[in-house]
Structure 1
């Protein structure tokens, strides 16, 4: 037990030092703090310069709430719980495997660091994106998980910051689902993660932005604003009630598994979910909603 308390303590210290180094410009390519700010400002600028819904104000409904969510989920949530939880869970999982004579390396099918750089990045990105796509379908399929995911779908006007409005339980689910695939791939560098992560953040921001883009023929590969708006549609056909367009960064999976749905432009459709008028409007009660849901 002492071992796990030490892991938790070291996790807090390590992540707090990382946050300080980020804010004080002591990190370079792995500086997620200023990287997030830069990407957000660029995509917001694109929204202002090329608005799709021209009557939507620059400071749209819940703009500041979503901005708070963005920084809370991306930085403070990790400081409060996720880093310590992830490290402790990984150690516990390894210890349990050790009891039956196994280790994480027992699941390793290949060492991703032995690949050429471009192939290492591509493999890491493709596998993680598919796992996230599949996890996203589960958030819509099962009511217990859907009650957490409602926080994200409570957005009523789409904009870049809506990308990171989600309940703290979601990254717990996503990270749990990614653990085995990451073990199968073997080790990977922090720079690999940073490259993929910044790309995913950029596409995620653009998906939620008020921009009339679909990327031409790339729409069949990359998720985009004109596709993702339908993922947030309040009304869907009866045979699509569990959701559509689940892609995180890639739209490819939706086209492959027939979960794609873009009947028309979708510019002015109502977004949300049935009964969202009764959904809490503030951060605290949105976080508590799944716990109070009977």
Structure 2
């Protein structure tokens, strides 16, 4: 039955809801890391997660008749995207949390991605970033600095309370990984189906994680507890299949800088989840910084989500 003039179709409503759903799902990834890391080293876990995800994407792509890349070069581009988006980004995040970085702070550092994406989107993709978006991106950066500043603890002999510079460096590495992956995906993989692309991307990221784990001498022992199995299932099905597929769709539908601005919304949601589940607490300055970051995303997104044009 056709929709009435002025009313939203089911497809339009789904597209408008995608950003909010993506933010919620993506935020749970930082929480999922807290469940699995006590039972497995980060890179070994990610290799296991990636190979299971790639295996699940195969029947999903086949049953839904997903289109496979028609050009051999697109397979290579998908593989590079997978290493950047999944290997570099998730490897950095998990290493940071393993190093003691609270989930909320890890999410906050990851939210620097919009600023980096906006800087690079102009020369690399030809996208114009408006003054309003620059103001929003700047406010988001200020919000990140406010939260991180509250964790400064030079009097204890360490730079930050509860974690060291290595954990922060891992989180920063993750930011550069996902920024490069987003831009690469937008430029070279525009025609890639998220389902078939997921097979290639996760399959490419798996040996990279295994190689780095072996080179660094990581203990690859896994303790199979109910909490670990739940965390693994959640991160594979909800994050690697659900949230990553949404990210690919959002990148295809919108400008790279606009999509990246959604990551400013992840830290407040992650902080709330971490507080409820792990009693991770943030003070007044950090909460104010989260509020500044949220205001930043509203400006940087230019009012997105909005109803798509016909």
> One fold, TM greater than 0.5?
no
Shorter-chain TM-score range: 0.3 to 0.5
**Greater share of helix residues, 1 or 2?**
2
TM-score (norm 2): 0.32
Select the structure with the greater relative contact order (CA < 8 A; seq sep ≥ 6): 2
